[in-house]
Amino acid sequence: MSTVSPHSDTPKIELIGVKKAFGPKKVLDGVDLSVAKGESFVIIGGSGTGKSVMLKSILGLLRPDAGTIKVDGEETTHIDGRARDRVMTKFGMLFQGGALFDSLPVWQNVAFGLIQGQGMKRSQARDIAIEKLAAVGLGPDVANLSPAELSGGMQKRVSLARAIATTPEIIFFDEPTTGLDPIMADVINDLIVKCVRDLGATALTITHDMASARKISDRIGMLYQGKLIWQGPTSAIDDSGNAYVDQFIHGRAEGPIQMQVKLG
């Protein structure tokens, strides 16, 4: 789905040897990743393998214990203050649960980054919010509703509209189809593909929904025990030659990945 050659010189996002532990538990254990400009990269992996931690580390919400994170070639691992604010303007994020502000109506949620982040006038920001809502298939009638009045699918669309409202260069998707029925999940997948293509943005998605991963990605990587154990083009995932990847994409209980299940 990429619109720009994924072989630009400087990677849009680069992780080198990123490590993160919480107490004795190593969550990321030397992750290396490179995502080119305009590319859509999907990270798959089971629950608790460190996908969200990796995403939050790139976003600056968590600080890695070791390693380097670069955005557009600029090291962002330890930046704060205005330098961090400047990098954050490049990002858009769709949270797993939507993370809509329930104290604000829908249009203010969508326009939040424009009003608070960019200082845009409310009337102008509202027009853009209505436009972005239309881009995700929602009419202006939902603009004044509270997020609590929307269904799960509609909340996800509003969250997507908010993620793209500031025209970000990089969009992160955290489990974009979790909790949705298959049809709504496919609608969200289509919207993600369309929005990322229209913006010419780079996308980094974490999911364990293989249908979603196949549909929205140019490349896929699998995270297991804190390491990216395989990465390659989406078309190659069925022939990865990696037993862990095979077990995961086919959803088999038997294989090298042992789930800790306690009965009784």
Which chain residues interact with other proteins by CB under 8 A?
A: 56, 59-61, 85, 88-89, 91-93, 95-97, 99-103, 112-113, 116-119, 162, 166, 172
What is the Cα–Cα distance from 216 to 40, expressed in whole angstroms? 7
CB of 214 to other proteins, least distance (A): 26
CB of 116 to other proteins, least distance (A): 5
CB of 191 to other proteins, least distance (A): 19
Q: For residues 95 and 224, which CB has a smaller minimum distance to other proteins in the complex?
A: 95
Per DSSP, which regions of the chain are E strands? 13-22, 25-35, 40-44, 66-71, 74-75, 91-94, 170-174, 202-207, 219-224, 227-233
**What distances in angstroms separate CA 242 from CA 21, 190, 229, 237, 254, one per listed residue?**
26, 29, 9, 9, 14
H, E, C per residue of 132-198 = HHHHCCCCHHHCCCCHHHCCHHHHHHHHHHHHHHCCCCEEEEECCCCCCCHHHHHHHHHHHHHHHHH
Q: For residues 118 and 235, which CB has a smaller minimum distance to other proteins in the complex?
A: 118
67 backbone φψ class: left, alpha, beta (φ>0; ψ -120 to 50): left
CB of 119 to other proteins, least distance (A): 8
Q: For residues 6 and 64, which CB has a smaller minimum distance to other proteins in the complex?
A: 64
CB of 129 to other proteins, least distance (A): 13
Q: Are 31 and 55 in contact (CB under 8 A)?
A: no
CB of 18 to other proteins, least distance (A): 19
Q: For residues 201 and 220, which CB has a smaller minimum distance to other proteins in the complex?
A: 201
Residue 242: phi and psi, rounded to 5, are: -110, 120
Q: For residues 5 and 151, which CB has a smaller minimum distance to other proteins in the complex?
A: 151
CB of 107 to other proteins, least distance (A): 14
Q: For residues 145 and 236, which CB has a smaller minimum distance to other proteins in the complex?
A: 145
Q: For residues 171 and 228, which CB has a smaller minimum distance to other proteins in the complex?
A: 171
CB of 26 to other proteins, least distance (A): 20
Closest listed residue to residue 210, CA positions, set 49, 45, 34:
45
Q: For residues 92 and 226, which CB has a smaller minimum distance to other proteins in the complex?
A: 92
What is the Cα–Cα distance from 169 to 139, expressed in whole angstroms? 26
**What distances in angstroms separate CA 144 from CA 107, 115, 150, one per listed residue?**
6, 16, 11
